[in-house]
Homo-oligomer: A and B are copies of this chain.
Amino acid sequence: MTDVHILGVGMTRFGRHPDSDASDLGAEALLEAIADAEIDARAVEAAYCGHVFQGMVTGQRILAQVGLAGLPLTNVENACSSGATAIREASLAIRAGEHDVVVAIGTEHLTSRFRGALTPDPSDPEAAVGATMPGVYAMRARRYMEEFGMTREQLALIPVKNKGNAARNPLAHFRTPITVEEVLESRPIADPLNLHDCSPVTDGAAAVVVMSDRAAGRFANGRTVRLAASALRSGSVDVEPTSMTFEPLTWATARDAYEKAGIGPDDIDLAEVHDCFSIAEVLRVEGLGLFEQGSYPTAVERGEADIGGRLPINPSGGLIGKGHPLGGTGVAQVVEVVRQLRGEVGDRQVEGAKVGVAHCRGGKAVGIEGAACTVQVLVR
């Protein structure tokens, strides 16, 4: 059975792109990834495209745009884990021996689909009674404060860290560092979460080129990163029956990934995690086993999660700083981890990083009815 390698990565600027659409952005990211892999576009054999709101055959439009129509392409959707799932399916196509060179694209043009915040589906019974995403995460934050004594100021340090990292990322949606005071004084969204605690509505795309051992040998560009595991799980109230402050789904998916990769949490040098809200980062890093339950807020206060800290979390800026174009997010996380492991990210570089993790979590926030979680392990 072949290993799976990433030889090329590409990503658009994240932000508002009023003059382009999801396939324009996807095509831009794809062409960059192909160029970065230093291969001829004709070497690509198949493609996967992750997105949520972009309509039928979005991936096929991207292929047509870059002159690669004809290839097998599958659009995948797993809510906020859609892009990460595209990478997983690409890796399975490689491991099946079906193809040697496969691209995974994640794209989303949210600003043309929503005015302001994302609105829940009218058929969503929880949202109809006010349990929207911000509402549910706000309750989880309150509960976490109650259980573990986290202060509002500690929680605010997460957006401060992530927007600080984003200020060093030329592709990030937000490029201005913020202070705790600015978080606390920003517009209330769902108490205790304010505007700066929330990830923004972003347009953007990212792409990766994955290869089999055989192709990676043939196209070796000296910057190969191995995709050591790409784990996926679905969630529901059965999987996560009660806890507001711990995520069994994140932990189960992480356990699958660590086992496949033959690593443990202690081996990890950096992580990109799904910080759709400030509290979400706390729940994710603890669910991933990277910090003990209840310990992350004080660890952040001590600088442990900073670039240069014990275990940098979201050096790219995360969803809060870099932006959150749903389908683009999971692929962009992997792009960041690959660039970190290659040592290519300038003043946000995590020195000596060899093992990185990317985590996405989509669907319902407390797992009722439908959720998807991915954990990918990358090794240099």
Contacts and interface: CB of A to CB of B under 8 A. Distances in A.
29 contacts: A1-B97, A56-B79, A56-B121, A57-B77, A60-B78, A60-B235, A60-B369, A60-B370, A60-B371, A64-B237, A69-B234, A70-B234, A70-B238, A70-B239, A71-B233, A71-B234, A72-B232, A72-B233, A72-B234, A73-B234, A73-B372, A74-B85, A74-B88, A76-B77, A77-B77, A92-B98, A94-B96, A95-B98, A96-B96
Shortest Cβ-Cβ A-B pairs, 5 listed: A57-B370, A64-B236, A69-B236, A60-B370, A95-B96
A136 B94 CA distance: 37
B74 A56 contact: no
Contacts of A234: 47, 59-60, 63-64, 69-73
A67 B238 CA distance: 8
Interface string A199-231: 000000000000000000000000000000001
A301 interface: no
Contact of A121 (B55, B63, B96, B369): B55
Given A60-B369, A98-B95, A78 B74 contact: yes
Greatest chain B CB density within 10 A among A58, A88, A231, A372 is at A372
Nearest to A260: B98
A362 interface: yes
A289 to B, nearest CB: 18
Contacts of A74: 76, 78, 85, 88-89, 232
Given A57-B78, A74-B85, 4 more contacts: A56-B363, A57-B372, A60-B236, A73-B232
Interface string A349-376: 0000000000000111000011110000
Number of copies: 2
A238 B69 contact: yes
Contacts of A121: 55-56
A375 to B, nearest CB: 11
The interface residues of chain A, by DSSP majority, are classed as: mixed
A252 interface: yes
A60 B363 contact: yes
B57 A371 contact: yes
Interface of A: 1, 47, 52, 55-61, 63-64, 67, 69-79, 85, 88-89, 92-98, 121, 123, 231-239, 249, 252, 362-364, 369-372
A71 B370 CA distance: 12
A378 B75 CA distance: 24
A252 B239 CA distance: 43
A234 B75 CA distance: 11
